[in-house]
Structure 1
Amino acid sequence: MANQIAEFFQAYPEAEAVDAIADHINQFWTRRMREDFRAGFAGDTGALSPLARKARAKVKAATPG
């Protein structure tokens, strides 16, 4: 799903696209989805597009609550 979001924003300048992807994930994905996204690609980000990979670093960590 992150790659699909990244595909949508690929026409944007890179920095703007990365921020927009991370913002979308932070706003609309559940805490569990964000944590799975961050943890699931911790060692191998090869399945992520370059934009999604860069946005991953800006996705908020899940906080209890």
Structure 2
Amino acid sequence: MSKQIHPPINGSVLEGICKTLGDTNEGLTGPEISKFLQEAVIEDIDFSNTKWKRLFNAFVEYQNKNQIIF
């Protein structure tokens, strides 16, 4: 089976996804974000930032490292 390459997620869309996942009342907790990123093999590069920014920075870094133009 060949590896599929997907286009990068647009920055504004990615920001919305991260804000939803990191919502203070309904979103993921800090430990859940750590677990999620670890299981997805995405480096948690900004663990001291707000939850949504932490996710956003991790996703952008992942896209950049994998040669996906963001």
TM-score normalised to structure 2 length? 0.38
Which protein, 1 or 2, shows the higher relative CO under an 8 Å CA cutoff with sep ≥ 6? 1
Bigger radius of gyration: 2
TM-score normalised to structure 1 length? 0.41
Which structure has greater helix proportion? 1
